[in-house]
Homo-oligomer: A and B are copies of this chain.
Amino acid sequence: MQLHDLPTPSALVDLDQLERNAARMADRARRLGVRLRPHVKTHKCIEIARIQTDLHFGGVTVSTLAEAQAFASGGFTDITYAVPIAPQKLAEAADLNREIDALNLVIDHMDTLRAAEKFAVSRGIVLPVYIEIDCGDGRSGIDPDDDASEHLIRRLAEADALDFRGLLTHAGHAYRAHNRAEAWAVACEERNVITAFAAQLRDLGIEIPEVSVGSTPTARAIDDLTGITEIRPGNYVFYDAFQSAIGSCELDEAAFSVLATVISVHPEAGRAVVDAGALALSKDPGPTHVDPDCGFGVPVATDDLHPLPGLRITGLNQEHGTLTGPGVAALHPGTRIRIVPNHSCLSAACFDRYHVVRGTEVVDEWHPVRGW
* Residues of chain A at the chain B interface (Cβ within 8 Å): 7-9, 41, 63-64, 83-89, 108-109, 111-112, 115, 138-141, 143, 146, 172, 261-266, 268-269, 271, 273, 275, 278-279, 282-285, 315, 317-320, 322, 332-334, 345-346, 349, 351-352, 370-372
Contacts and interface: CB of A to CB of B under 8 A. Distances in A.
A323 to B, nearest CB: 11
User: How many subunits of this chain does the assembly comprise?
Assistant: 2
Contact of A138 (B109, B112, B269, B333): B269
Given A146-B268, A278-B282, A283-B283, A139 B86 contact: no
22 contacts: A7-B88, A7-B89, A8-B88, A41-B318, A41-B319, A64-B319, A86-B262, A86-B334, A87-B333, A88-B261, A111-B334, A139-B315, A139-B317, A139-B320, A140-B264, A143-B266, A275-B372, A279-B346, A282-B283, A283-B283, A285-B285, A318-B345
A25 to B, nearest CB: 19
Q: Interface residues of A: mostly helix, strand, loop or mixed? A: loop
Nearest to A271: B138
A332 B283 CA distance: 30
A282 B278 CA distance: 9
Given A275-B372, A351-B371, 20 more contacts: A7-B372, A8-B88, A8-B372, A9-B372, A63-B318, A63-B319, A64-B319, A83-B263, A84-B333, A86-B263, A86-B275, A88-B261, A109-B265, A143-B268, A172-B317, A278-B282, A278-B284, A278-B346, A352-B370, A352-B371
Contacts of A112: 263, 333-334
